[in-house]
Structure 1
Amino acid sequence: MELRQFKYLLSIAEEGTFTAAADKLYISQSALSQQVKKMEQELGVPLFDRSGNRLQFTEAGRLLHQRAKYIVKEVEKTKTAIDELEKLYRGSLTIGVVQTVNAYLMPRVVSLFSSRFPQITIKVKELSAPQLEEQLYHHELDLGISFKPEAYPRLVFEDLFKEELILIVNKEHPLAGESELRINKLDEQKLILLPEEYCTRRIWERCVEKSDIYPKVQIEMNTIAALLTAVQTNSSAGTVLPALTMEMEAAKNLIPVKLHKPTPCRTVGILWRNGKYQSSASEKFSEIIRDTYGNLNS
């Protein structure tokens, strides 16, 4: 049976006659009668007692009428819910973000999105790049903010901006007076870094290897806030982190030093599953990220 047949049944019950119901539905009486006969043939029972002037339901007809009212109502509620999702009146969005990006990028973007679409619930999961790729691939995330995928190359990656890694030190550090340094000047320098499973650390290690230097990793800590706090009180060791880290409150009063020859650099972008339908919420969130950070390199 079709939804329109259920609606026909409801109209007949409300109007009492095929003629009145057909007029209300803007179809011919014969077309309406034909649809009722199709339902009766499909079910194998009569739905109406046609012996009187006003149509009366049979027992089977009353049962189908009750179910038809429920079905039509649920369909209309579902249509309304879908319409509200598309208009961003309701819904949820689950986003995976690598830690070194989450620390400085997401608070601003999430705040902007929530102010514009307060009915959408946002869930932000801080993950390593491999974890993010895996969860996105297995439909556990709607979007990812990370780097070019390695484990799941079929994920779609859209560049947002390229970001240099910089040396960050406190005001008492011997290199605090430098605005820019060659990488080889950090030979045997003490550093406080993220562990090796982090992409930021791996990028740095590649530069170290290329430059044939041997900095001393004095401390490893697995959050950016902890690294910056440690640098605040350590005048002999600095850290190497993305340049936008300097926007964080924890970086207040610290000194950024640019690095070059080679310049450690990474590309941050949006990740999603290839061919996956993008909800209106996902599209709007992506737009806000592009508007906020997409022109950093222009």
Structure 2
Amino acid sequence: MALNFHQLHIFYTVAEKGSFSHAAQALHMTQPAVTMQVQSLEEYFGTKLFNRSTKKIELSEAGRTLLPYAKRSIDLMKETDIGMSKFTHMLEDRLYLGASMTVGEYILPRLLGPFGKEYPNISVSMKVINTRQILEEVLNHQLNFGLVEAEVQHPDVHVEAVMNDELVLILPKEHPLSACPSVQLEDVLQYSFVLREQGSGTRRVMEEELAKAGIDPGEMKIVMELGSTGAVKSAVEAGLGISILSQSSVKHEAALGVLQVKDIEGIRFSRSFYAIYLNSTILPISAVTFVSFLRERDLSQWL
């Protein structure tokens, strides 16, 4: 029997999760299959890699010795996929991903065309939900890859910035602030706001930057919370309030003059869009290729 990467990956995941059942869930395998692969690895080395008891499993001395080598093999495999992704133009595969609202509705549609021209044999299936839902689905193994609007913090999740964006003040046509050459934050806070719902990346970034400026977001005059950027834009256009949204999401309305876009003096709502996936996941080459495309191309030419 030869040593193989698949067994090292399974061993590492069991060690990381501290459980055969949790590793099986993370790897989308049955528990007996995980156990069998670990036993095969133990037979290959001729030693036990885990000390098992009825309550828990722990790495043996041999297992502790193997663990850093297994991690290095996984890291090397990920680096290999990244390095080879630029040569996968003839790859035939389907890319499944989750995208948060702004990314999925306004950013990716402009990028999927150029990506499709460069990689014509990779088809895309995208689920558009908010950042909190994507994190939950990644953790529950319903999605293995997502693009979100705010940095998430979770010990089981790898987070990588792949794109930049900026939020701006959105006003209805002929709003009093639209005539001001310089808009001050204290003036903005006098008006009613229509905002994205709690849990959205846009909302989180806005609240974090306001808090840094010494403003309690709970003191804002919020008259409406809506579940999509499109609904927020329609409400602002109807004069129901003002908002803070991604500049990329309002280019069309700003060009038509139905919405006004302003910067707020002394505060910037700069952010990144992030790729997220489980630490224990090795992404399919189609996903690695897409992340490399986002990371390496000049996306401004399409946005």
The 3-state SS of whatever aligns with 1:101 is helix
What TM-score, normalized by structure 2, do the two folds share?
0.60
CA distance in 2, matches of 1:130, 1:110: 24
CA distance in 1, matches of 2:298, 2:180: 27
Question: 1:257 deviation in Å?
Answer: 0.7
Alignment partner, residue 202 of structure 2:
200
Alignment partner, residue 147 of structure 2:
145
Alignment partner, residue 242 of structure 1:
246
Question: 1:238 deviation in Å?
Answer: 1.5
**AA matched with 2:122:** I
Query: Paired residue for 2:282, among 277, 286, 290?
Result: 277
Q: How does 1:1-298 map to 2 (within 5 A)?
A: 88-146=90-148, 147-150=150-153, 152-178=154-180, 180-209=182-211, 210-211=214-215, 214-234=219-239, 237-248=241-252, 252-253=256-257, 254-274=259-279, 276-292=281-297
Structure 2: runs of 5+ lacking an equivalent: 1-87
Task: Identify if the C-alpha distance between structure 1 residues 223 and 171 changes in structure 2 by more than 3 Å, giving closer, same or farther.
Answer: same
Task: Identify if the C-alpha distance between structure 1 residues 295 and 242 changes in structure 2 by more than 3 Å, giving closer, same or farther.
Answer: same
Count of residues in correspondence between the two structures: 211
The 3-state SS of whatever aligns with 1:130 is helix
Question: 1:221 deviation in Å?
Answer: 1.7
RMSD value, Cα = 3.1
CA distance in 2, matches of 1:163, 1:259: 16
CA distance in 2, matches of 1:223, 1:149: 20
What TM-score, normalized by structure 1, do the two folds share?
0.61
The 3-state SS of whatever aligns with 2:106 is coil
The 3-state SS of whatever aligns with 1:122 is strand
Question: Percentage identity across aligned positions?
Answer: 22
The 3-state SS of whatever aligns with 2:222 is strand
Bigger mean CA deviation after superposition, 212-221 or 287-296: 287-296
The 3-state SS of whatever aligns with 2:151 is coil
Task: Identify if the C-alpha distance between structure 1 residues 172 and 292 changes in structure 2 by more than 3 Å, giving closer, same or farther.
Answer: farther
Task: Identify if the C-alpha distance between structure 1 residues 142 and 204 changes in structure 2 by more than 3 Å, giving closer, same or farther.
Answer: same
Question: 1:284 deviation in Å?
Answer: 2.1
CA distance in 2, matches of 1:233, 1:191: 13
Structure 1: runs of 5+ lacking an equivalent: 1-85
